[in-house]
Amino acid sequence: MSRGPKIVAIGGGTGLATLLRGLKEYTRNLTAIVTVADDGGSSGVLRRELGVLP
């Protein structure tokens, strides 16, 4: 059985997860490069209120 085309997806968050879930229907050759960023929203609150790094 063919594993399908090789696909690399770059991104993060819900959009990447949704894309990969859909692509699994067409290929088993998936590679994901997941970016991680923090805008300081809820983790900023934790830092200020508890004085700790999240």
In a domain, 29, yes or no: yes
pLDDT of 54: 59
pLDDT (tens digit per residue) in 28-46: 999 999 987 766 677 778 7
Q: How many domains does the chain have?
A: 1
In a domain, 52, yes or no: no
Boundaries of domain holding 10: 1-38
Is 0.75 surpassed by the pTM of this model? no
Q: Which two tokens stand for residue 51?
A: 């004085």
Cα-based distances in Å from 47 to 9, 40, 44, 52: 32, 9, 5, 5
